[in-house]
Each structure stands twice: as C-alpha cells, then as structure tokens.
Structure 1
Amino acid sequence: METQTHPLGTSRPPLDVADLPQPEDVFKVRKLGPVQVIQFVIGPSLIALGISIGSGEWLLGPQAVGKYGFVGVGWVITVSALLQTFYNVEISRYVIATGEVPVVGWGRVPPGWKFWVPFSLVVFYFAFIFGGWAAGAGQGLFALVAGRVYRPDEIEYVRLLGIGLLVVVFLITVMAKKVSRALELTNWVLVGALLLILLGVTVAIVPFAVWLDGIKGLVTFTAPPAGITATQLGALAGFTALASGLNWYAMNHYRDKGYGMGHRVGYISGMRGGKQEIKPVGVTFPDTPENRSLWKRWYKLLLIDQWAVFFVGAMLGMLLPTVLMAHVVDVSGKQPTAANVPTFSAEQLGAIYGQAMFYLMLIVGVLILFSTQLGIFEALVRNFTDAAHAVSPRIRKRIEDDPRKFYYPFMLLVLAVIAGAIHLALPVELVQISANMSNFGALMFPFALMYLNSRLPKPARPHWWHYVILALNVVFFGFFFVNFVYEFFTGAALVKF
C-alpha cells in the first residue's frame, strides 16, 4: 500500500499523513478534566508568558506610564495583547496540524526555504541577540547584591552578572530530561510567584483611584499623550504580551508538548533524557470524521492555553507593574529613565517603606527579567537547531539524528555572542531596538501564515475572519515599525502626538 502524503507549499517534501492522537494518550491520563488540564496540558503558554512578563511589562510599560500616564497609552497595551494572542493561536494552529515548528514551516512559503529559513533567523536574531533582556536582569541583580543601584562606572559588573545568568539558563537545560518541560516547571514557579507578589504589594500600597485609572486607561481609546512618539509607543506595542510579529519563535513548544501532530514528530530532549529523534518533515492528518472531532478537541485545548493563561497573564503582568509605577511616580515626584527603570520602583519604594521593600522589589525585578532571559536565550538556540536539523541532511548525519549534539554546543556559541553584544548600549535602549524589530516581523509573517494555514487539511483551516485579524496585525504593528525606521535614519519623529 502506497504511503499517503499531503503536499504543502514549495521547496519542502510533502507531509506524511497519520491520524491525530487522542489527548488522553498524549498526556497519559484516563480523562482530561480541569485538574488534568492544569497539571498536564497547560505549558507552552507559560513559557511564552515567562518571556512576556519581562521587557515590555517591567521596563517599557512602566517607563511609558511613569512619564506619560495611562490615558492614551493603555489602549495600545490592550490592542497589542489581543492581536498577539490571536496571532499566537494562528501560529500554533499550524504547529498542531503539522508538527512542524514555524521556522521550518516558513520554508514552505514561496520562494522556498533557501530564502525564508535564513531570513527568518536573521530577523529573529537581530531583534534579540543584543541582550537587553539579559542586561536588565543583571542590573537588578547588581542592586540586589550590592544593596544599591549601580554607578555609571560599574556598568561592566552589571553586564557580567547578566552573562552569569545566561550560564544559569544553560545549566537548567543541561540538567533537564525534556527541555520544554524544564522550562514549563521553572515558569510555573517564576510566573506564579511573581504575579502573587506583585498583586499583594500593589493591592497593599496603591490607592484604589490609581487602580481605576489604570483599568480605565486600558479600555479608553483616545489620542496618545502629547510629546510621546510613535516609536516609543511602538516599543511598548511590540513587547506588550510577547514580540508582535516574531511571536512564532516561542510556539515551537506546542510540538515538544505533544499537541496534535507534534506528538508524531518528536521533541528536543535534555542531557538526562536520552536520544530523541525529531522528524525533519512534519506529519498531518486525513480528513475523516474521527480526526475532525479530535481536531476540535486539540483546538479547544489550544484556546484554553492561550486565552485563559497567556492573555490573562499578559494583561495582569502589564497592569500590575504599570499601576505600581504610576503610584511610585506620584509619591516620589520622580520619573524613571532609560538608565534606571529596571531598579526605579525598588529604589523609590525602599526609600518610602524601608529596606525590606527595596529587596523584595529587586527580587521581583530580577526574577521577572530572568524568566524573559530563560525563554529568549533558549529560543535563540532552539529555532536555529530546529531549522538546521530540518533543512540539512548533512547536519542530521553529522549529529547522528540526535539534536542535542547541535543544541548544546550552539548554545555556548550564542552565549559568547550575547556576552559581546550586551556591551553595546544601556539595557532599556537595547530592549527598545528589539521591540521595534519585532514589529518589523509583523510586516511579512502574518502573510506567510495565511499562505500556510489556507493549505492545511480542511478541518484545521481558519475561517475568513481569522485572515482579517491577521491583516490587522500587519497594519497595527507595521505602522509603528515604519515610524521607528524613519526616526532611526532621520533623528526626527515621523509621527509625534
């Protein structure tokens, strides 16, 4: 009997075809109730949320609100989070339906993988290789160790601490049996603890009126405040939630978690996990009544993971630090700058409430930025590994179909590159560059996603209105990128409010 295949796109082999697995078989449970969903199904969204509650929520959002207030800024946060969560769902649709991660899937879009795979990696790396997220974590850690914020002549110590935290990420992956699972468990602890501490501190010290202003700001659609530029708003939009047009880099974990056809393709195991092969070409499913029913179940689990966990967590992760920052600015009479925003809240609250609050907020800041560092650093390595493994038979032969033999040496190389790039600018300035480069990704990847998803098996294809919302991603984030480019080359804002 001839093996059935499903052609999709150009320049890559057709997908193999097999039935969708049962969720209970994948997660090894008798029945998937609410408790089992929390225990075994939720996961990829936590890794994305760990990245999300970081550069935008702890640095860019509080900086913008601290200087300009909520009104005219908050709605950018809300729209960005809504569009990005929807975009995440559409990216993950492809992963679940084919078992292929996005950086490999892009290779099926004309003109083919020789353009899209290198181009995707270059855009992704240019956005994140500068290490602003690592430098920000080092800045908070320095203050935690020294008991004060760093002086300008101590910036090198800050950078070394940021590099040291990269080594910690390397060790977490080395000690893992399954890398994705190790990241999930780490983020369960980090994200859960951080949101609880932030909620407790903010409820305890921030007046109700400030809370009300923050919530109203999120849902009040009005002109941005005078003086703010579209580039500044673009940085906030780009790193609210995750990374706008580049969110695809964090969706690989649906394959590794075993969602849908990801269960048929494989995952990256840790050093303690033993050899685990990953198929270089994805697998999709035939259009049968049983598979249509199973697809609906997998898609429902995806919606729970993204909307109930990622979206809610991202909105809380942005609301709490910005409300807290607004209160700090009000009571201190000072405003955060690009140089001090990672430690501004801790410094000012420490002056008002004592050293215990200073250290508590520093711990929160370090852990928030470390969760971002954990996700981004690992994603830089993971996406390159997945791409190289999929498109190069020579590499697969060299590593004997064991992705770990590429993953770990390459992680050390990336660590060395970031250790050099981290010296280029202040942490927040590096993050602003990354955020606006993320908006650049929104100019093309939603279109590539439309192409791929329209060619999936019929039960997995999007409805017409999904394409409309993907187009809105292009318009919204693309507007901010155009302004960033104009200001970068001319030194003047194209749009100033």
Structure 2
Amino acid sequence: MTEVTRSHPLGVSRPDLAIADLPEPEEVFGVSRLGTKELFKYAVGPSLIALGISIGSGEWLLGPQAVGQYGFVGVGWVILVSAILQTFYNVECSRYVLATGESPVVGWGRVPPGFALWVPLSAFIIIFAFIAGGWAASAGQGVYALVHGEVAPAGAEEPRLWAIGLLLLVFAITAAARKISRTLELANWGMVGAILVALLLVDLFVVPFEIWWDAIRGFVTPAAPPAGITATQLGGLAGFTALASGLNWYVMGHYRDKGYGMGYRTGFIAGLRGPKSELLDSGVTFPDNPANAGRWRRWYRLLLMDMWGVFFVGAILGMLLPTILMARAVELSGQRPTQANVPTFVASALGDEYGQAMFVGALILGVLILFSTQLGIFEGMVRVVTDAAHATSPRLRVLIEGDPRRFYYPFMFGLLVVIAIVLHLALPISLVQWSANMSNLGALIYPFMLMYLNSKLPRPARPRWWHYVILVLNFLFFGFFFVNFIADFVGDPLVTF
C-alpha cells in the first residue's frame, strides 16, 4: 500500500479519509492485461449479485402479475423508466464506493447531522423494507408445488417451512465461502445465466410473435395506466423493477469487496473458510493528480460496463421474458393471476397445456429465480448491518477482535429466526408489494445524500451536472409512488385509474 501522508476531509462526524494512490485494475485482479476474457472472468461480478436480486420479486412476481391482469400498455413504460433511472442511481452509489472504499451505509454517516442519525436509520430502513420475507415465502410456494406436483392450498404451513429451509441454505452458502462476495458472484453467474437462457428457450417455444411485439411496444409506448390498476401496484412494480429503487445502495458495497478502486485499500468481509481479512473502519481516497485521474477513468469505465452492459441489459431481459410468458399463460388458461397464486400460475397454465414436464420445468425455473433474490436480499441485510456496526462502534471492533465475521454470522442466524416468524403474517405477494413500496421511501432521502457526498470527492471522481438532474428524477419518480402508498395505506390514494 502506498504510504499515507495526509488526509481528505469529507462530511461530518466521521474521520477524514486517508489518502493513497488508486491501484491499477491489473494489480487488483492479478493479471498482466485486462482484455475481454479477463474482464468477464475477474472484473464483472457485483452487477451479477444485483441482477440475481433483480430477477425475482419484480420480474417473476409483480411484473407478471401486473401484465397478467392489465396487459402491457400503460405498464411497460413504467418498467423501462424504472430500470433506466435505477441503473443511473446504481452508478452514482458505486461512484462513492470506488472513490472512498466505504460502503454506502458508512458513507451516509458523513452527511449532516452525522452518523448517529443516518447510519442506524439506514440500517433500520433496509431491515424494515425487506424483513417481510415475501421473496422467501414465494420461493417456498414453488418448492411445495415442485415436491407435491400441485399448487399449495391457501394457508398451508409447508411452503413456509420450505422458505425457512431456503434461508438456512443461504446461511450454509455464505458459511462455506472463503470470500463471501466472490461466492455470491459465482452462484449468480450460474443461476442468472441458467435463468435467462431457460426463459428465452421456453418463450421461443410457447410465446407467439404477437405477444413478443405487444410487450416490446408496451415498453416504449407512453400511455396512461390501465383502468383498474392502483398506483400502489404500479409503485410496487416500479420499486422492484431492476432492483429496489431508492434502496439499491445496500447492494453496491460489493464493489468494495470486489476490490474496485479504493475498495482494494479498505478490505472485505471474509467467509468462514477464508483467512481473516482486515476491514478498515474508515475509507481511503486518492490524491488529485494526472496519474490517479487516469486510473479513475479506467475504473469508472469498468463500472459503466458492469452496470449498463450486464445489469441493465439483464434487468430488461429479466422483466421482458417472464412477463410475456405470463401473458401467454393468461391466454392459455383464460384466467388471470391473483396475489395468492402468482408464484405458481405460469407453471400451472403451461403444465395444463404442454404436460407435466413443462409444469416441473417452470416450477424449477421459478424456484431458481426466487432463490437468487432470496440469496442476495438476505445476505445484503446482514452485510449492511455488519458494515454499519463495524465502522461506527469501536467497542464492537474490540469485542470481535477486528474480525467482522464474528458479528456477521451470529446476526445472520438471528435475522433468519425473525424472518421465519414474519413469514406467517401475510400472503407472499402482499409482503413483496410492501417491501417494494418501502424501497421507494429511499428515493425521498438518498439521492440528495449522494449529491452531498459525491460533490466532495476528489475532482476526477465528481459527477457532472446532469448526474444531479437524474438523481432528482429518481426522487420525483419513485418518491411519488411512496407518498401515494402511504396515502393509500392511511386513507385514499393520491390518484386512481
């Protein structure tokens, strides 16, 4: 590591950032040259973890449910706008991580009035938004149908037990890791690749061209929302298209663990099988000079390729392919999905038309989609709280002897128990819609905090003026849906269609 000789003040209530040179990507990834092969083998990764979460609650549940009930026109444009805005937002969150090596939840502690407010509040919002466990309950419904060959009856207990079993599987995967982020990347390489290829093949086999065209046209045609759909339903769709709207930052800390930019200087959370890794409690940034400006441009290009080339393209395909499959299932069955049966609706409709093999295949695909979401969300909640506690509590660092794993794994198990209880409280889709609309809450807060933090980065890393405009658009678009959700929850929605 380059010797630190001075510091860079950023915000309030947190230590100044240490200063060291940015590493070259080749140094981080251990290659002599970062070509196309090395790019996909080593550099692409955090976007896959985000994409694994993305292709799940929004793409397999809320999007198909909305299309199955109301069609593509008036719904598709919400999907496209949400995906574009969220990808820009992801880049801005990750900009801070690359420039400082701090995860976003730690960075929020630098925003006035300071960490005593923003760090615990942010950790609470993430837990509150996702602890409902609808993503896990939906996966449990799919496993039940796969085991028994039929859809679970209303109120059945066994799907919830399967959901809890899948949470234990997430715990086992992280416990078996040497480096948790890398294990999640490899798992999502396999799952996301299999999901998209399988969806494409099934759609090519069963979906007529007319439905493909209706879907593509619906994505790019601005139109009023269809009659009957609520703004709360649209808000859930917008919130969970691509990822989790204003709360996407909870996944972007993986760029630190991947070693992107200054993340290489600050460390990562190791798995149980790996050796202890030092994780700094405060970030490091780079001096403003031509050499580091050139290195920053290289890292920023890698970030853009990872986010736009992998995450955005994958998110659009991940929404298009399941929604046209749902439209075909509605056409075949003559019925529309409900909150109770949407996790298994497609499998049932395709099974009736094409036989048991298609029923089983669609169920396996659905379980894989929902489990990839479950893996990323559950681990992400644990990661956010671990980063927050480790960075802000000297007493905790002494207690765990500087090893974040000693907090990470006990907290993960405790959270598992709590989610297992919450799973019994509502239908899976109701839980997912709650999480999605709570995700929109983040759009009222964090875009402005990002503006504050990123404007104080070293000059080469600062955003251009139009990046701030897009962050304001995130605030307006997703913030509207959250305000409407609260109005609908306590009385009447702001708008009806």
Q: TM-score range with shorter-chain normalisation?
A: over 0.9
Structure 2 stretches lacking a partner, 5+ long: none
> Match for 1:272: what amino acid?
R
**Overall identity of the aligned pairs, in %:** 68
2:470 counterpart of 1:469? yes
Q: Distance in 1 between matches of 2:279 and 2:422?
A: 32
> Match for 2:185: what amino acid?
E
User: 1:41-80 to 2 correspondence within 5 Å?
Assistant: 41-80=43-82
Q: Distance in 2 between matches of 1:32 and 1:263?
A: 17
Q: Distance in 1 between matches of 2:442 and 2:361?
A: 36
> Match for 2:431: what amino acid?
L
Cα distance, 1:494 vs structure 2: 2.2
Specify the alignment match of 1:209 in structure 2: 210
SS in 2 for 1:442: helix
Q: Distance in 2 between matches of 1:381 and 1:223?
A: 39
With normalisation by structure 2, the TM-score equals 0.99
> Match for 2:494: what amino acid?
L
> Match for 2:342: what amino acid?
V
> Match for 1:493: what amino acid?
P
Q: Distance in 2 between matches of 1:56 and 1:86?
A: 18
Per-residue CA deviations over 1:97-119 (Å, capped at 9, x if unaligned) read: 00000000000000000000011
> Match for 2:410: what amino acid?
P
Specify the alignment match of 2:431 in structure 1: 430
> Match for 2:60: what amino acid?
W
> Match for 1:135: what amino acid?
A
> Match for 2:7: what amino acid?
T
Specify the alignment match of 2:146 in structure 1: 144
Specify the alignment match of 2:358 in structure 1: 357
2:32 counterpart of 1:30? yes
> Match for 1:170: what amino acid?
F
Q: Distance in 2 between matches of 1:123 and 1:157?
A: 30
Q: Distance in 1 between matches of 2:152 and 2:494?
A: 35
Specify the alignment match of 1:190 in structure 2: 191
Specify the alignment match of 2:329 in structure 1: 328
Q: Distance in 1 between matches of 2:356 and 2:489?
A: 41
Per-residue CA deviations over 1:50-80 (Å, capped at 9, x if unaligned) read: 0000000000000000000000000000000
SS in 1 for 2:248: helix
Specify the alignment match of 1:273 in structure 2: 274
Cα distance, 1:19 vs structure 2: 0.2
Q: Distance in 1 between matches of 2:264 and 2:188?
A: 22
Specify the alignment match of 1:255 in structure 2: 256
Q: Distance in 1 between matches of 2:322 and 2:203?
A: 8
Q: Distance in 2 between matches of 1:115 and 1:153?
A: 40
Per-residue CA deviations over 1:245-277 (Å, capped at 9, x if unaligned) read: 000000010000000000000000001111111
User: 1:393-408 to 2 correspondence within 5 Å?
Assistant: 393-408=394-409
Cα distance, 1:227 vs structure 2: 1.3
Specify the alignment match of 2:493 in structure 1: 493
Q: 1:82 aligns with which of 81, 84, 94?
A: 84
Alignment check: 8 A CA contact 2:4 2:18 kept: no
> Match for 2:67: what amino acid?
V
> Match for 1:494: what amino acid?
L
Q: 2:6 aligns with which of 4, 7, 15?
A: 4
Q: Distance in 2 between matches of 1:217 and 1:435?
A: 22
Specify the alignment match of 2:120 in structure 1: 118
Q: Distance in 2 between matches of 1:39 and 1:331?
A: 41
Q: Distance in 2 between matches of 1:303 and 1:385?
A: 27
Cα distance, 1:307 vs structure 2: 0.1
Q: Distance in 2 between matches of 1:91 and 1:479?
A: 21
Specify the alignment match of 1:128 in structure 2: 130
Specify the alignment match of 2:100 in structure 1: 98
2:227 counterpart of 1:226? yes
Alignment check: 8 A CA contact 2:17 2:100 kept: yes
Q: Distance in 2 between matches of 1:171 and 1:36?
A: 29
> Match for 2:18: what amino acid?
D
Cα distance, 1:153 vs structure 2: 4.3
Q: Distance in 2 between matches of 1:142 and 1:449?
A: 42
Alignment check: 8 A CA contact 2:154 2:340 kept: no
Alignment check: 8 A CA contact 2:4 2:19 kept: no
> Match for 2:12: what amino acid?
T
Report the count of equivalent residues.
495
2:408 counterpart of 1:413? no
2:253 counterpart of 1:241? no
Per-residue CA deviations over 1:13-55 (Å, capped at 9, x if unaligned) read: 0000000001001000110111110000000000000000000
> Match for 1:75: what amino acid?
W
Cα distance, 1:331 vs structure 2: 1.8
Per-residue CA deviations over 1:306-357 (Å, capped at 9, x if unaligned) read: 0000000000000000011111111210000000000000011000000000
Alignment check: 8 A CA contact 2:98 2:260 kept: yes
Cα distance, 1:3 vs structure 2: 2.7
Per-residue CA deviations over 1:366-413 (Å, capped at 9, x if unaligned) read: 000000000000011111000000000000000000111111111100
Q: Distance in 1 between matches of 2:155 and 2:25?
A: 55
SS in 1 for 2:18: strand
With normalisation by structure 1, the TM-score equals 0.99
SS in 2 for 1:238: helix
Cα root mean square deviation, aligned: 0.8
SS in 2 for 1:389: helix
Q: Distance in 2 between matches of 1:2 and 1:219?
A: 51
Specify the alignment match of 1:368 in structure 2: 369
Cα distance, 1:2 vs structure 2: 8.2
Q: Distance in 2 between matches of 1:392 and 1:372?
A: 30
2:182 counterpart of 1:181? yes
Specify the alignment match of 2:288 in structure 1: 287
Specify the alignment match of 1:264 in structure 2: 265
Cα distance, 1:152 vs structure 2: 1.7
